[in-house]
Amino acid sequence: MLRVTKDRKRKYVSLGISVNPEHWDFSKNKPKAECPNREYIELLIADKIKEYSAKIIELMATNQEFTSTTLVEKVCVNRVNRKTVAEIFNHHINQLIACGRKSYALSIKQLYNSLIEFNRHLDIPFSEMDIAWLKRYEVFLREKRLAENTIGIRFRTLRSIYNVAVEENAVSPELYPFKKFKVSKLNQETAKRALSKEDVDRILNYTSSNRYLRFPIDLFAFTYYCGGINFVDIAHLTSANISDGRLVYQRQKTKKLIKIPLQAQALALIKKYHSDESPYLFPILSPIHKTDTQKANRIHKVISKVNKRLKEIGEALNLNVTLTTYVARHSQATVMKRAGVSTAVIREIMGHSSERVTQIYLDSFDNEQVNNALKAL
């Protein structure tokens, strides 16, 4: 035991080992020469004394008060908690599910499954995930011919989990491999998915003899008129989300509360599709979808069909992007930005966690704008 004494109050800390009394020198308080593993025991004792002495010096240098009990607590807090990679992953996934962040939990589960396939098991400490290990994982992903952005997402997610491990003292910050293994090198600039206001008008005015194309266009329009509302959020809207001419809803992804005025075009679409037989404003979900799994499966099925038909419309109009409901979300942000709306306001409308996220949605300035800006010089 290590004895810590402060102001005549004692605290004992176990070193986790035991020695036969006949091998212990009680006068010198150290193992005898013939004691088995003597060098290891002496090294362990010296390291422990050094650890506590360093903490005492740190506390005294910063004029912090402490007792024998709080000293032991402070030293123990800094000690690494021997949780495996699998344990941290599973605990974090369960926490996200409990907080209602199921989409993000699914993303982390996909990474977990990928790492299992790569390493066969994750019953390993985080310290094993060094730079060489990360490089082997990168090679593994490239051999599977994954897209550059998909590989980037895998590593950004892995980095966030490693950060969780550091916070929970499951690994020492000194071992952090992402200081040298740069995840930023895996970022590939995504092709812009925003359309001009003129192209949006062409989509909204598109006519076809195929009656099944109207619903996808109307959902695209509702997204555009309602601040880029996400498809999943549209699916969950009910009459309770309309208050004093405003659409008030909580984003399924971030749980952020959004309040936006309903334009006449958006109100017309609600009136067109809302039925007294269902609490939902649009015919995506219905009362038969009760569990979260049922709702998720239904939404996935509908959005797949909607995006397939939007793609057909985009090809018919010769648009330079693959048309999806997400293009409407990008486009409305870009149209607002070009109309002079600040990024801060666009962020509020779209429910982003930061302006940096909003900036990703904003289309880059076109060549004409750049040319005009340079002429001003």
What three-state secondary structure class fits 16? coil
Helices and strands per DSSP (H, E), number in the chain: 15, 7
The reported pLDDT for the residue numbered 112 is 96
Backbone angles phi, psi at 242, to 5 degrees: -105, 120
Q: Is the dihedral of CA 322, 326, 328, 329 positive or negative?
A: negative
- Measured distance CA(192)–CA(304) in Å, rounded: 21
In the block, tokens 């996220």 appear at: 357
Residues 6+ apart with CB under 8 A from 85: 115, 122, 123, 124, 125, 126, 128, 129, 165
Residue 280 has which token pair? 């939902």
| The pLDDT of residue 92 | 93
- CA triple 254-255-256, angle to 5 deg: 90
CB 247 within 8 A of CB 241: yes
- Joined together, the tokens standing for residue 363 give 């289309």
> For the chain, which ranges sit under pLDDT 50?
365
CA distance 164 to 85: 11
What does the radius of gyration of the chain's CA atoms come to, in whole angstroms?
30
Q: Which fold, 197-374? A: hpI Integrase; Chain A (1.10.443)
The tens digit of pLDDT for each residue in 57-99 reads 988 888 889 998 888 888 876 555 678 999 999 999 999 888 8
Q: What is the pLDDT of residue 338?
A: 79
Which stretch of DSSP H or E encloses residue 25? strand 24-25
Specify the pTM.
0.61
**Per the structure block, which two tokens stand in for 167?**
């916070």
Count of other CB atoms within 10 angstroms of residue 173: 10
Query: What is residue 320's predicted lDDT score, i.e. its pLDDT?
Result: 86
Q: What span, in angstroms and rounded, lies between the C-alpha atoms of 181 and 131?
A: 6
Distance CA 94, CA 105 (A): 8
Integer angstrom CA distances of residue 147 from 110, 152, 241, 242, 337: 15, 9, 39, 41, 30
- DSSP letter (8 states) at residue 24: E
> Which residues are CB-neighbours of 330 under 8 A, at least 6 positions away?
192, 193, 194, 195, 228, 361, 363
Structure tokens at 146: 């994954």
Residue 269: burial class (beta carbons within 10 Å; 0-12, 13-18, 19+): buried
HSE toward the beta carbon, residue 63, CA cutoff 13 A: 0
CA pair distance 95, 101, nearest whole angstrom: 9
Q: Bridge-partner residues for 5, per DSSP? A: 10
Cα–Cα distance list, 68 to 81, 150, 166, 183, 341 (Å): 22, 51, 27, 43, 59
Strand partners, 247: 242, 260
DSSP-derived letter for residue 316 is: H
Rounded distance between C-alpha atoms, residue 261 and residue 248, angstroms? 9
